[in-house]
Amino acid sequence: MKKILIAALCLATFAAQGQKDYTKYIRTTVGTDSEYILSHGNVLPFTARPWGMNHWTPQTAANGEPWQYVYDAYRIVGLKQTHQPSPWGGDYAMFSLMPTVGERKFLEKDRQSWFSHKTEKAMPHYYSVYLAEHFVHAEMSPTTRACMMRFTFSAGEQSNVVIDAFDNASYIKVIPEENKVVGYTTQYYHNGKRAPDNFKNYFVVRFNKPFREFEVWQNDGFVSQSEVTAKRTGVVVTFSTAQNERIEARIASSFISPEQAELNLKSEVGDKSFDQIVKEGRDEWNKYLSRFEVRDSKLDDLDNVRMFYTALYRMFIYPRTLFEYDATGKMMHYSPFNGQVLPGYMYTDNGYWDTFRAARPFFDLFFPEWSTGYLESLANVYKESGWLPEWISPGHVDAMIGSNSASIIASAYLNGIRNLDMATLWEAVDKMAHNAHPSISSVGRYGIKYYEQYGYIPSDVGVTEEVARTLEYAYADWCVAKVAQALGKDKQTVDAFAGRALNYKNVFNPKWKLMSQRDSKGNFATNFNPIAWNYGFTEGCSLHYSWSVFHDPKGLAALMGGDKAFVSKLDSVFLTPPAFDVSGYGGKVIHEVREMNIQDFGQYAHGNQPIQHMIYLYDWTSEPWKTQYWARQVMSRLYSPTSDGYCGDEDNGQTSAWYVFSALGLYPVNPGTGEYAIGSPLFREVVVTLPDGKKLTIGAPNNSDERLYVNKLTVNGQPYNKNYVTMKQIRGGGQMLFDMSAKPNTSRGTGEVARPYSMTDDKTLK
């Protein structure tokens, strides 16, 4: 009787958990209608497990092309294991499989097939497509480090699978007696060397049927060998198949060794059926997606739900897991910094210039147990390379600016994640604050000696993007000061960083009341133009970057002339037509410029990261309803669950994190404060399951497209007039209940006391 009862209870629990499948709302192809001159996301339709070591994508372009899958293409050339974090950085360590029929052909142009999106199922855990020219239904479903593919050859007869190890020095070996192909793939096609010389991606592909024949490819043609090492290698294996026969491929890889690739295959795929892998993938995704349950019985637009879960999916794609488990179950990783195999966590493929803003803080808030491992990875990057990461893929990449690793550490530590190796992380963050990497400008602080000498980086000392660097360094210094304070460092240390955190004031041009270039004599640029891109800024102009004072909006408002002047400066971003001066790029209209230009949001450039927090700065003013208005405008006009669904580069989950936070009615303007600025929730109800299982209900029963303003807010039944909630309030669970209105409530949240943190008011930093 007892046994039966337990079984019944288990079933009931399972049924409750298994009730909702959120993956059905997700389209991995959202944002894939992108090209060099205009980005609608610049993402690939990845099928992967959350933080998967490998992503799998159909490819419409030859290996080596940055835009590997574009929505308006007609032909598929392969199903590929990829590690590409952005088309601008390019791929590394990739290989692909492609089923064909008839004569054995190898190159993309010879093996490609027409396809239709109508035959595509592009889901987080499963992808399938009909390859029309080969009469093949191709399917794939990955695990973290492996994948199963299934090819249904409807024509029968001579059926082939091309394995293309591509890359710049690869290896292929066919082991026919085991129905197996092993190999490795190595380097990158552009953007230089990003790993030690011994870097390899070892792979194994095991089929469920013996080969009838096979032919190995070496550089430009087939060779009569079963094993080759060359610039480009591959193989075409041939099967005798009956009509509609299914050929299955079990695939795994490792960055550690060929033996580890076999182990990954055994432990993650083994003898499981294809359908079982699909189910496990769906369950794993739902484990995370179900933490955010949109309940909206009067839903106006299913597209909002689709966009919400699609954005949530994107946030779990990066960073990439780079650790593997050895035969004893010990966590090991290949170090892309020193080439050794070492114990412990390692994640890669992330650009902090993008993700420090909202993508990484999201996990500190909602998945702190995951962030703990992530911060161990950060400490390992420092131990193995002597530097903290700013852009890694898989090793340090020389891209973008800032010292935003300080924000990553502050966000985790100051949001209460305490089981971290702070001895190492403090040493690291302190070193980064005072040093520039000898050869990689993105690592450490490029131009630091000028920053320390002048309190800003002058425009005439040969350091580019100097205003943007000054602003981001000043914010990083605030992060370091607060971490130092929390660690109980001496007052002198805290004061020194707190002093530097005010350096943003040194590039504030009082004539224009905007940030601008300033030379070493202290003179501001006389030819200043607020809409001129580049001049001292990174992928933006002064109107975009003048808001990068995350830690002291009140101080910034004071510089601009106080509350009303600050509001009107914020307003001016939307009111200034989207004109631009690109003389700083030699007249070239880079894609971020065009993306700002075409959205009809004035100068507000949501397609790039620097300005993405700016809408929430109205919460620091007497007119917080403008945050609510603009947040809803951006959600409804600049996001849609379509192939052109983003308004610029999605960038490692950041632009998706903006949407997910905003849809919850929250945004982490300064991730180190543990405060979340309040916007306008998108749904009538979302139930968030918190790390310890508590629930937070974010309700807005009378919400609609028109009723987008916050009239009243109660938190756990108490009237709540502040423009922010804290990490502690969110983690405590309960209910945030919004009363929405079609007209702004011009008296709610307007006073000083309602405003979130500003350093100006921080008595502990005096």
Judged by the rule CB under 5 A, the positions of this chain that interact with Ca ion are 608, 649, 651
Cβ closer to Ca ion: 648 or 674?
648
Cβ closer to Ca ion: 33 or 649?
649
Q: Is the dihedral of CA 583, 588, 592, 595 positive or negative?
A: positive
Q: Which has the closest alpha carbon to 545: 598, 592, 489?
A: 592
> What tokens were used for 618?
């109205």
The one-letter amino acid code at 107 reads: L
d(C-alpha 422, C-alpha 418), whole Å: 9
8 Å CB contact between 337 and 387: no
Number of neighbouring beta carbons within 10 Å of residue 257: 17
Smallest distance from the beta carbon of 391 to Ca ion, in angstroms? 12
Number of residue whose CB is nearest Ca ion: 649
Cβ closer to Ca ion: 201 or 609?
609
Secondary structure (3-state) at 232: coil
The one-letter amino acid code at 273 reads: S
Number of neighbouring beta carbons within 10 Å of residue 17: 12
Cβ closer to Ca ion: 354 or 563?
354
Smallest distance from the beta carbon of 81 to Ca ion, in angstroms? 25
Cβ closer to Ca ion: 399 or 476?
399
The backbone region for 71, taken as left when phi is positive above 0, alpha when psi lies in -120 to 50, beta otherwise, is: alpha
Smallest distance from the beta carbon of 649 to Ca ion, in angstroms? 4
8 Å CB contact between 392 and 398: no
Cβ closer to Ca ion: 23 or 609?
609
Question: For the CA atoms of 34, 40, 45, 51, what is the dihedral angle to 10 degrees?
Answer: 130
Secondary structure (3-state) at 458: coil
β-bridge partners, 254: 202
Residue pointed to by tokens 């020389």: 398
Q: For residue 406, which phi and psi values (nearest 5 degrees)?
A: -60, -40
8 Å CB contact between 696 and 322: no
d(C-alpha 443, C-alpha 360), whole Å: 18
Which residues are within 8 A (CB) of 462 and not within 5 positions of it... i.e. 6 or more apart? none
Smallest distance from the beta carbon of 622 to Ca ion, in angstroms? 32
Smallest distance from the beta carbon of 319 to Ca ion, in angstroms? 17
Cβ closer to Ca ion: 390 or 651?
651
Which residues are within 8 A (CB) of 382 and not within 5 positions of it... i.e. 6 or more apart? 388, 424, 425, 427, 428
Cβ closer to Ca ion: 203 or 391?
391
DSSP class of 761: G
Cβ closer to Ca ion: 226 or 597?
597
Residue pointed to by tokens 């943190």: 757
Cβ closer to Ca ion: 146 or 400?
400
Q: For residue 47, which phi and psi values (nearest 5 degrees)?
A: -105, 125
Cβ closer to Ca ion: 376 or 651?
651
Cβ closer to Ca ion: 231 or 588?
588
Smallest distance from the beta carbon of 84 to Ca ion, in angstroms? 15
Smallest distance from the beta carbon of 645 to Ca ion, in angstroms? 16
8 Å CB contact between 183 and 240: no
Secondary structure (3-state) at 4: helix
Q: Which has the closest alpha carbon to 353: 479, 196, 539, 183?
A: 539
Cβ closer to Ca ion: 623 or 651?
651
Smallest distance from the beta carbon of 86 to Ca ion, in angstroms? 8
Smallest distance from the beta carbon of 609 to Ca ion, in angstroms? 5
Cβ closer to Ca ion: 280 or 644?
644
Cβ closer to Ca ion: 87 or 749?
87
Smallest distance from the beta carbon of 42 to Ca ion, in angstroms? 9
Q: Which has the closest alpha carbon to 578: 533, 625, 515?
A: 533
Cβ closer to Ca ion: 335 or 355?
355
Smallest distance from the beta carbon of 651 to Ca ion, in angstroms? 5
Smallest distance from the beta carbon of 312 to Ca ion, in angstroms? 20
Smallest distance from the beta carbon of 407 to Ca ion, in angstroms? 17
Smallest distance from the beta carbon of 192 to Ca ion, in angstroms? 20
Smallest distance from the beta carbon of 354 to Ca ion, in angstroms? 6
d(C-alpha 364, C-alpha 90), whole Å: 28
Burial of 23 (0-12, 13-18, 19+ CB in 10 A): buried
Cβ closer to Ca ion: 380 or 654?
654
Question: For the CA atoms of 375, 379, 384, 388, what is the dihedral angle to 10 degrees?
Answer: 90
β-bridge partners, 696: 688, 734
Which residues are within 8 A (CB) of 97 and not within 5 positions of it... i.e. 6 or more apart? 78, 79, 80, 149, 161, 162, 163, 164, 205, 249, 251
Smallest distance from the beta carbon of 653 to Ca ion, in angstroms? 12
d(C-alpha 145, C-alpha 320), whole Å: 11
Q: For residue 343, which phi and psi values (nearest 5 degrees)?
A: -75, 160
Smallest distance from the beta carbon of 631 to Ca ion, in angstroms? 20
Smallest distance from the beta carbon of 539 to Ca ion, in angstroms? 6
Number of neighbouring beta carbons within 10 Å of residue 598: 12
d(C-alpha 759, C-alpha 553), whole Å: 8
Cβ closer to Ca ion: 324 or 595?
595
CA distances from 503 to 160, 247, 527, 688 (A): 63, 63, 23, 39
Q: b or e along 567-583 (b: 16 or more beta carbons within 10 Å of the residue's beta carbon)?
A: bebbeebbeeebebbbe
